[in-house]
Amino acid sequence: MKCPICNKQSKVFDVRHPKNESKRRSRICENGHTFRSYELSEERFQELLDYEKYYFKVQELSRTYDS
């Protein structure tokens, strides 16, 4: 995975796997930027998509009521 800041190659220096949660990786690039990456299970990913749809729906509705 490339660094989102400078686009250099990065490596993992810490992995956490909380119970019932997606795996969290702390990564560091050649320039010392640190960032996190998440590993999502298919199930969890679907949940997030559904959540997003719901969120946009709510936004849509509130916009309708505003005008």
User: Where along the sequence are the contacts to Zn ion (CB under 5 A)?
Assistant: 3, 5-6, 29, 31, 33
31 versus 46: smaller Cβ distance to Zn ion = 31
Q: Could you tell me the smallest distance in angstroms from the CB atom of residue 48 to Zn ion?
A: 26
1 versus 6: smaller Cβ distance to Zn ion = 6
The number of residues making up the chain comes to: 67
Largest Cα–Cα distance in the chain? 50
Tokens 């990786």 locate to 25
37 versus 44: smaller Cβ distance to Zn ion = 37
Instruction: Return the beta strands (E) in the chain as ranges.
Output: 10-16, 23-29, 34-39
